[in-house]
Amino acid sequence: MATYTIERERRTLHGHFSRDLPPVLAIDPGDTVVFRTLNAAWDLEARSADDVPPKRFEPRHAELDKGHALCGPIQIRGAEPGMVLGVHIDEVRPGPYGFTVAGGWSSETNDRLGVVEEGITLIWDLDPDALVGRNQLGHTISLHPFMGVMGMPPAEPGVHPTAPPRVTGGNIDCKELVAGSTLYLPIEVPGGLFSVGDGHAAQGDGEVSTTAIECPMERVTLTFSLHDGPPLRTPRANTAVGWITLGFHEDLLEANMLALDAMLDLMMEQYKLSRLEALGMASLVVDMRATQIVNGVRGVHAVLPHGAIK
């Protein structure tokens, strides 16, 4: 099995999803890729508490680079529509700085909470060895780094924004996808064309201010696999907290039902239950969590803890 490295450079960076993007690298199943990523905003340096705009990566295309700064896409040889891509997260090491924004623009969350007119940017000094972050107000929190965007383009042609999550992945923003987890994504285009970006040093379920600790990543190590099993209708993941299934929809309740529906599929597969039996057991051991409520398309993840059913 081979290991490749992708740096953050013009050839490898893009701000949209499209089946027409040429791959920057072709790999075999079982290969590993080590990425170095910008933060979602294409910053090249730390932000200032005085709101001094940071230097950003240039050149950028006014339309094609409007979204998160993503690295890729990666072609996986043998990947075909209907198959499943496995992405094992070996390591996620944040850079030395990050930022979090709250308020300052209109959104449904901000409007409801009355924080539209004023905004604040929290500036974070990050210690990737101790996994601790400290902001300019003197507050310290633990870091649990993960990638906000991991995904592939949908089958539909054209340019697709990076902000909403999709069945094929993308801006999932699930805080459980830390090192050691494996994400499983439905493939809709030949070669898969996987991209990654939007590093988060820490985030709570919901991502309620619209941002996490947005940071560059010095090292994101991913190992890829292909699976011919039953096709997935939505992403799922095997994580430290348990098996996770994800649902995405503009309506949070509908996203909840999609995640639960996918969890029943998983429980039927793993425990040989009928659908009704799976629903009854899910009511006892499955937790429904709001992944994020701020990307237009909301996310919910259902969690089945390991060992909950014996």
For 71, other C-beta atoms within 10 Å of its C-beta total 27
The total number of residues shown for the chain amounts to: 310
Measured CA to CA, the distance from residue 55 to residue 46 in angstroms comes to 9
DSSP 8-class letter at 161: -
Please name the fold of domain 3-227: Jelly Rolls (2.60.120)
Pick left, alpha or beta for residue 29 (phi over 0 → left; psi -120 to 50 → alpha; otherwise beta).
beta
Measured CA to CA, the distance from residue 204 to residue 289 in angstroms comes to 11
Measured CA to CA, the distance from residue 139 to residue 133 in angstroms comes to 8
Distances (CA, A) of 300 to 145, 147, 183, 256, 292: 19, 17, 15, 5, 7
CB burial of residue 157 (10 Å; 0-12, 13-18, 19+): exposed
The pLDDT value recorded for residue 119 is 83
In DSSP terms, 243 is beta-bridged to: 238, 304
Query: So where are the chain's domains?
Result: 3-227, 241-304
Model pTM above 0.75: yes
The pLDDT value recorded for residue 229 is 81
Residues 6+ apart with CB under 8 A from 81: 155, 187, 188, 189, 190
Distances (CA, A) of 217 to 15, 77, 151, 241: 17, 26, 17, 23
Contact between residue 27 and residue 75 where contact means Cβ atoms under 8 Å apart = yes
Contact between residue 54 and residue 44 where contact means Cβ atoms under 8 Å apart = yes
CATH code matching the domain that covers 241-304, chosen among 3.10.180.10, 3.40.50.2300, 3.10.28.20, 1.10.3720.10: 3.10.28.20
Start-end of H helices in the chain: 108-113, 252-271, 275-285
Amino acid identity for residue 295 in this structure: N
Sequential pLDDT tens for the chain (310 residues)? 999 999 999 999 999 999 999 999 999 999 999 999 999 999 999 998 877 789 999 999 999 999 999 999 999 999 999 999 999 999 999 999 999 999 866 566 667 766 655 788 999 999 999 999 999 999 999 999 999 999 999 999 999 999 999 999 999 999 999 999 999 999 999 999 999 999 999 999 999 999 999 999 999 999 999 999 888 999 999 999 999 999 999 999 999 999 999 999 999 999 999 999 999 999 999 999 999 999 999 999 999 999 999 9
User: Smallest Cα–Cα separation from 145: which of 80, 84, 98, 83?
Assistant: 98
- Residue 252 phi, psi dihedral angles, 5° rounding: -65, -35
The pLDDT value recorded for residue 116 is 58
